[in-house]
Structure 1
């Protein structure tokens, strides 16, 4: 999905000020509320933004140990194991991967002993061949997408053809209707 300068500005505000109202976003961006709402609807419809609840810290919930567990699965059992992982509350994310293993899970645990208990539970799941665990020591770059959003916006602006009169496509600051 192509984003333009206004989309980039909208995404930046959503990421930097997630609890602001649509009316305030429109004011800050200098666009009509209807224009902003149309853009938000399109960004959501296209899957650029998703509606989600607050980001909860497992560490603040008493689960400060973060580990990544790679799981090797018996051929043909990937879906079964994936479904079984959903029943393990300490698994906060699971992804199918290439390379060493079939699944990569993000696991939150109270301590190392609890992590071992979770791993033992995973090993007992039908279809799991073996696991490999790596414990995160310190977060160096927190989850973020703003640098990516800005790079995509710059790339889109650079690709925009010049219009007659020396102007490039919509800079996104005007109050015209979204289309």
Structure 2
């Protein structure tokens, strides 16, 4: 789906001012509310906008330890292991990957001992062959999309 310069301006506002009303966005952009709503609906339908919920902090929820766990899975068990991972609340996301492991999970814990307990739970999942864990020390670049949105917008503005 191609985004144009107006879409980019809309996305920038959504990222910078997520709690603003549609009416206020339209005013700030200098466009009709109906135009804005149609753009938002299209971007949601096309999967550009995937949610509107708040961004939560696992650390503020009492889980300040972050680790990335590489999980090797027995052939043919990826779906079963994926379902089992989805049942572990401390796994905040997981991806199938290429490379040294089959899955990469972002895992949070209350402390190192709790993280170890979560990893032991993962190891006991049928189909998990082994895990390799890397504990994050400090976030260097927080999750962000505004630079990408701006880059896409600059590309869309070029003839």
The two structures have a TM-score, normalised by structure 2, of 0.99
Pairwise CA distance, 1:50: 1.3
1:20-169 matches, within 5 Å, as 20-158=20-158, 160=159
Pairwise CA distance, 1:153: 0.8
Pairwise CA distance, 1:52: 3.6
**Deviates further, 51-60 or 40-49:** 51-60
Pairwise CA distance, 1:118: 0.5
Alignment match, 1:164: none
Pairwise CA distance, 1:3: 0.7
The two structures have a TM-score, normalised by structure 1, of 0.88
Gaps of 5+ in 1: 161-179
User: Greater CA radius of gyration, 1 or 2?
Assistant: 1
Q: Deviations over 1:140-165 (max 9, x none)?
A: 1100000000101111111x3xxxxx
Instruction: Give the Cα–Cα distance (whole angstroms) in 2 for the partners of residues 52 and 40 of structure 1.
Output: 11
Q: How many residues align?
A: 159
Instruction: Give the Cα–Cα distance (whole angstroms) in 2 for the partners of residues 26 and 52 of structure 1.
Output: 17
Instruction: Give the Cα–Cα distance (whole angstroms) in 2 for the partners of residues 85 and 152 of structure 1.
Output: 34
Moved over 2 A (4+): none
Alignment match, 1:2: 2
Instruction: Give the Cα–Cα distance (whole angstroms) in 2 for the partners of residues 146 and 157 of structure 1.
Output: 16
Pairwise CA distance, 1:6: 0.3
Output the aligned Cα RMSD. 0.6
Instruction: Give the Cα–Cα distance (whole angstroms) in 1 for the partners of residues 53 and 36 of structure 2.
Output: 21
- 3-state DSSP class of the match of 1:54? coil
Higher relative contact order (CA 8 A, sep 6+): 1
- 3-state DSSP class of the match of 1:41? helix
Gaps of 5+ in 2: none
